[in-house]
A and B are shown apart, each in its own frame.
Chain A
Amino acid sequence: MIGLLIRNSWTQLRRDRAAQVLAFIVPIAFFSIFAVIFGGGGNRMSGTSRVAVAVVDEEKSEKSRALVEALAADSGLRVITTAAAPRGSRGAAAETTLTRAAAEAMVKRGDVPAALILPPGTGAAIGSFDGAGAKALVLHDPSDPVAARMVGGLLQRAALRAASANGGFMGRVNKGPDEMMPLRYEEQAVLGEKRDSPMVAFYAAGIAVMFIMFSAAGAGGALIEETDSGTLERVLTSGLGMNGLLLAKWLYSTTLACAQVTIMFVWGMLVFRLPLVQHVAGFAIMTVFTAAAAAAFGLVLATMSRTRQQLAGFANLLVLSLNALGGSMFPRFLMSEGLQRASLIGFNAWALDGYLKVFWREAPLAALAPQVGALIGFTALFLVLARRLARRWEAA
């Protein structure tokens, strides 16, 4: 009897393609995605990815240039010393050497997690081991807890190499560990230093985006229930049409997602001192466009699914994967640059970037244009896709 039931179960599984995908393909897909992100080649924690650092050589001496070259030669760093020339600089080179202000702006924009400023006197201080002289300055974004430390550590290695190349360092005497550094430096956070709990902004944005994606998939699933119950047929018979029906579903899901994110951020403000009031305009913009994209995404999932079970499978696979990739679970800035670029295939990565610009980088509203533009593009794409998939409900 028991054997019969077991055989029946296997037979049913063998005939259910969706169940097979959920049982065997989804775990492999998840494993692969997480392995790429958290494992060997995908993130900086593993030590195989390079930290981008803007380096400003304010001394411009032979020694300081040797230090910059030593930094550039380090496999752990991607050194940036130039920036695109401003528009209208006719006849000038396409790139200009970075200044301290430009490097700080790059950190604030999130282009790089840290900038290294080598002030005048750096050359003399390299390898002096006397605790005196100029200090290098590491400007960093404290949302990336690893970058500044890595830059600081690798700076020492580069300084040792540079000092060796310049005749070594002789006559060093007993000093404290700080003085014994080949080049002393200090860290300076350029963002978030005034906040009581700065990382809350990350968590709130990450969880909110992931949550509304699940929620939108669930709301879109009402289409499947209405198909089964016959209400969809009845509504379509009334002459409303598929465009009107999808529009209604999309607008409902959008408003629902807006409400959900707002409640979540208000909770964050009340309990975790998230600075919502100070950023309410940026929050509103990002929430409306993110909710619109998530709702359209939910419609795509619902229109491509035949059953609730299929929808749950698609939603789990896509939402969790996109959020793992998009930075809801693991900050994108800790991923490799390649993976960071790849994550932009998901609308949620753009949404998260936008929220972080608002709450973390305190960027002006105009700076949200790329994110808003991308979200509008994703929304349009999803709506077109959902409309095409919904043809199966139209008159055959």
Chain B
Amino acid sequence: MAVLEIRDARKSFGATRALDGLSLSLGEGELLGLLGPNGAGKTTLIRAIAGRVRLDAGTVSLYGHALEPERPRPDLGVVPQENALYPLLTARENLETFGKLSGLDGKHLRERVAWALEWSGLADRAPSEVRTFSGGMKRRLNLACGVLHEPKLVLLDEPTVGVDPQSRESIYDMLGALRASGTSLLLTTHYLEEAEARCERIVVIDHGRAVAAGTLVELVEQAGLSGRRVRLSLDRPAASAPAGFTLADAGHALTATIDDVAHELPGLLARVQGAGLGVRDLEVRPASLQAVFLELTGKELRE
């Protein structure tokens, strides 16, 4: 059974259709990436799952049970994009506050707070006021407050925005530990390389609809970008590109797309040699998530 099932979700704000028949599902222990340009409907979807938006039509189900807006969702944890913390409270006090609001109390609350402080690497800063924390520490505490009550599904809205690479690694380590314990994660991010590297499956949404869903390989196929990208770094700038190539990096690189590496790559290299160009480096890879994303959602700015 799917942990989360969204069917034909529709929501309009005035004349704007924020969700227009969106459907997706999330399995147990899965890390699902939700990608989309600004205004695609990601935040509305997250808020609908969290019970903060009433759908005009469609259903949100958790373990097969349809969720009603503004009803407690003990199996759900929400980690907002903002560091939704009380700056004048300590890390421990913040955890205790959100733990109690989530229904924890007594010994269980104390145990979970102790776990969260360890898990987030903030045990030694437990008595410090949050306003004294770095951006990365706030992010980790923000995450800890959302998962303190051991939800089975956690919604993460841009959990790594604005933090340094070390903090980002730390946050993904924390998420990895959660997944290992069977928690399912739904994550929105604008860091496509992160989604590419971390998420098992990705759903691309645009104009309130899921326009593609699957693994990166499946997305590449759905976007019609199944060929391999070949990139040659040259030892000196080329004035023109040999046949089948495109100039890149002001002539310092050549790019091409091929379907069969074994058969087509030798011919490409021969053409380069024939043009008197020296190859410093060679890279062959599938289409990037960024290319897929732009192919699926277009290059037009969305604001």
A: which residues have CB within 8 A of B?
A: 229-231, 233-241, 394-396
Contact = CB atoms under 8 A, between A and B. Distances in A.
Interface string B64-96: 000001111100001011111111000000000
B82 A229 contact: yes
B53 interface: yes
Given A238-B72, A396-B53, A230 B13 contact: no
26 contacts: A229-B85, A229-B87, A230-B82, A231-B85, A233-B52, A233-B80, A233-B84, A234-B78, A234-B80, A234-B98, A234-B146, A237-B50, A237-B51, A237-B52, A237-B73, A238-B72, A238-B98, A238-B102, A239-B70, A239-B72, A239-B73, A239-B101, A240-B101, A394-B70, A395-B69, A396-B53
B54 interface: yes
Given A237-B51, A238-B102, A395-B69, 20 more contacts: A229-B85, A230-B80, A230-B83, A231-B86, A233-B80, A234-B98, A234-B145, A234-B146, A237-B73, A238-B72, A238-B98, A239-B70, A239-B71, A239-B72, A239-B73, A239-B101, A241-B70, A395-B51, A395-B53, A395-B70
B117 to A, nearest CB: 19
A234 B141 CA distance: 14
Nearest to B72: A239
A246 B234 CA distance: 66
A235 B101 contact: yes
Nearest to B81: A230
Nearest to B102: A238
A233 to B, nearest CB: 6
Contacts, number: 51
Contacts of B98: 234, 238
B78 A237 contact: yes
A231 B79 CA distance: 11
A40 to B, nearest CB: 49
Contacts of B71: 239
B96 to A, nearest CB: 13
Contacts of A238: 72, 98, 101-102
Interface residues of B, number: 25
A395 B80 CA distance: 16
Nearest to A239: B72
A52 B85 CA distance: 58
Nearest to A240: B101
Enumerate the 7 nearest inter-chain pairs by beta-carbon distance, A residue then B residue, closest first: A239-B72, A230-B82, A230-B84, A238-B101, A234-B84, A395-B69, A231-B84
B52 A395 contact: yes
Contacts of B70: 236, 239, 241, 394-395
Contacts of A237: 50-52, 73, 78
Interface in B120-170: 145-146
Contacts of A231: 84-86
A3 B83 CA distance: 40
B84 A229 contact: yes
Contacts of A240: 101
A236 B83 contact: no
A394 B47 CA distance: 11
B54 A396 contact: yes
Contacts of B86: 231
A230 B101 CA distance: 15
A55 B96 CA distance: 68
A237 B87 CA distance: 19
A344 to B, nearest CB: 39
Contacts of B146: 234
Nearest to A238: B101
Contacts of A241: 70
A239 B98 CA distance: 11
Contacts of A233: 52, 80, 84
Contacts of B83: 229-230
A304 B78 CA distance: 27
A395 B98 CA distance: 20
A396 B101 CA distance: 22
A243 to B, nearest CB: 11
A394 B70 CA distance: 8
Contacts of A239: 70-73, 101
Most buried by A among B73, B83, B84: B84
